[in-house]
């Protein structure tokens, strides 16, 4: 029964997406505090299918898990045609990534954004933001800097999630030791990661996040590896409960889960850090300044709530938890709630297109640079060939003029 439930998950999974609609984008550029309004949920039914299931002699089994998402209008608070305004991750993220480039290069980048009419904020439909939209800038980058972006097609927040798999998992079957059942042996052939700065933070711990070993106690923890979060996470016991008469244990995220290295030393390997409550995932997200947290900065440093108007964190709405049947390790209720955050800052030289004083820096992307570099490389090649030819001619003439019997060095 356990194998059947693992192979073909019998219960539906749903992904509820909320957007923070920016109410004052122009004022933000003039230095005012962002004001946001939560939109959603936009609910998607998640279809999970395991494929390439292969059993191995060492009591492990490997597989790939594919996922597809289907919009559920009846469960949503709006439609995919709803229009929202959010920060332009391409522009603002790239600005931070390129703040240390020469000033002249940043000016060229700013001009590139103007050419492609890319500003610091983006107003699109929910469907476009989720699954991709046409962008001249994206087409340009994919042409001149292939591999720079995570997608070779349209740019969307979840464009790479749909019709994708979570990597090659190899887990223990528990045939020789039931305490190891569902625990991860390797992921994509790796027994540890290379994203982080310490061996402890790079460890692949626990299960793949769908089932756990049986016979849990209140002292048990719930470790699992999340490819989307690029790390292992561990939940702790909070309280007992019941779901339709079935006993359960509720496990929740400890406050230390996303704490910075100053507040919780074992997390130093996830740094460079900012305030507690933010996990820097730039090392596994193409170096873009992206952070994950609990929604509305729940369990985070209170100072983060002063940066934005419109956030109201509560445990009931924004806490992360998993309800487990302790005797079998089967989850009865799962609510993994995470928030995607973009770090923004002033970057001098990225100006001109964004009007206003704060603009001396808002954010920008990559791009006219590759075209310039492509032109320059041919110029350098031509200059190099000319230099070699001239040097050869000079050397030849000098050699011809040497008197008989003289030696050249």
Please report which confidence band the pLDDT of residue 364 belongs to, taking 50, 70 and 90 as the band edges.
Answer: very low
| Mean pLDDT over the full length of the chain | 84
Q: What pLDDT does residue 184 have?
A: 98
Give per-residue pLDDT as tens, 10-33.
778 899 999 999 999 999 988 899
**382: pLDDT strictly greater than 60:** no
Please report which confidence band the pLDDT of residue 280 belongs to, taking 50, 70 and 90 as the band edges.
Answer: very high
Maximum CA extent, the chain: 108
Contacts with 373 (C-beta within 8 Å, 6 or more apart), sequence order: none
Residue 279, Cβ density class (10 Å: 0-12 exposed, 13-18 middle, ≥19 buried): buried
Q: Angle at which helices 368-401 and 136-144 pack, to 10 degrees?
A: 30
Q: Could you tell me which residue, 206 or 405, shows the higher pLDDT?
A: 206
**101: pLDDT strictly greater than 90:** no
Please report which confidence band the pLDDT of residue 384 belongs to, taking 50, 70 and 90 as the band edges.
Answer: very low
- CA distances 335 to 56, 73, 209, 296, 381, Å, are 32, 20, 12, 15, 58
Q: Angle at which helices 103-115 and 136-144 pack, to 10 degrees?
A: 130
Mean pLDDT value across residues 333-357: 75
Find tokens 């494929």 and name the residue. Answer: 51
| Contact predicate 46/69, CB 8 Å | yes
Token pair for residue 152?
A: 């070779």
Give per-residue pLDDT as tens, 32-62.
999 999 999 999 999 988 999 999 999 999 9
Give per-residue pLDDT as tens, 183-210.
999 999 999 999 999 999 999 999 999 8
Token pair for residue 215?
A: 């016979």
What is 181-238 written as a DSSP string?
TTBEEEETTBSB-SSSSSTTTTB--SB-SS---SS--TT-EEEEEETTTTEEEEEEEE
Q: Lowest-pLDDT range, 62-66, 154-158, 189-193? A: 154-158
Q: What pLDDT does residue 64 have?
A: 96
Q: What pLDDT does residue 398 have?
A: 47
Q: Lowest-pLDDT range, 61-70, 99-108, 289-298? A: 99-108
| Contact predicate 120/110, CB 8 Å | no
Distance CA 225, CA 191 (A): 11
Please report which confidence band the pLDDT of residue 135 belongs to, taking 50, 70 and 90 as the band edges.
Answer: confident
Q: How far apart are the first and last CA of the chain?
A: 84
Mean pLDDT value across residues 360-385: 40
Q: What pLDDT does residue 353 have?
A: 42
């Amino acid at each position: 029964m356990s194998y059947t439930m693992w192979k073909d998950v019998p219960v539906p999974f749903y992904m509820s997406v909320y957007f923070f609609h920016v109410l004052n984008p122009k004022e933000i550029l003039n230095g005012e505090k962002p004001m946001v309004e939560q939109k959603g949920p936009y609910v998607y039914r998640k279809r999970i299918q395991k494929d390439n299931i292969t059993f191995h002699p060492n009591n492990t089994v490997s597989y790939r898990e594919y996922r597809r998402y289907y919009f559920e209008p009846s469960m949503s608070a709006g439609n995919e045609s709803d229009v929202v305004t959010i920060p332009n991750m391409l522009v603002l993220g790239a600005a931070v990534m390129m703040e240390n480039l020469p000033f002249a290069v940043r000016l060229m980048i700013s001009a590139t954004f103007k050419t492609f009419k890319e500003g610091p904020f983006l107003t699109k439909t929910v469907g476009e933001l989720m699954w991709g939209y046409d962008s001249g800038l994206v087409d340009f980058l994919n042409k001149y800097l292939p591999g720079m972006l995570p997608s070779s097609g349209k740019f969307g927040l979840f464009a790479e999630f749909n019709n994708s798999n979570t990597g090659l998992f190899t887990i223990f079957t528990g045939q020789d030791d039931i305490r190891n059942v569902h625990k991860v042996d390797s992921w994509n052939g790796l027994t540890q990661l290379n994203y982080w700065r310490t061996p402890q933070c790079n460890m692949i711990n626990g299960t793949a996040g769908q089932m756990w070993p049986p016979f849990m106690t209140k002292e048990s923890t719930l470790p699992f590896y999340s490819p989307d979060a690029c790390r292992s996470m561990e939940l702790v016991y909070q309280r007992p409960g019941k779901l339709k008469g079935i006993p359960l244990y509720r496990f929740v995220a400890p406050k230390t889960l996303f704490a910075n290295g100053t507040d919780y030393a074992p997390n130093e390997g996830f740094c460079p850090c900012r305030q507690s409550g933010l996990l820097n995932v730039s090392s596994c997200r193409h170096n873009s300044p992206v952070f994950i947290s609990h929604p509305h900065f729940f369990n985070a440093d209170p100072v983060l709530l002063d940066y934005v108007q419109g956030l109201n964190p509560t445990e009931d709405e924004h806490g992360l938890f998993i309800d487990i049947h302790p005797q079998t390790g089967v989850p009865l209720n799962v609510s993994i709630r995470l928030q995607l955050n973009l770090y923004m800052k002033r970057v001098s030289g990225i100006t001109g297109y964004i009007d206003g004083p704060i603009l001396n820096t808002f954010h920008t992307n990559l791009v006219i640079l590759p075209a310039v570099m492509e032109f320059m490389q041919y110029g350098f090649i031509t200059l190099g060939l000319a230099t070699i030819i001239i040097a050869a001619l000079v050397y030849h003439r000098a050699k011809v003029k040497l008197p008989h019997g003289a030696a050249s060095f």
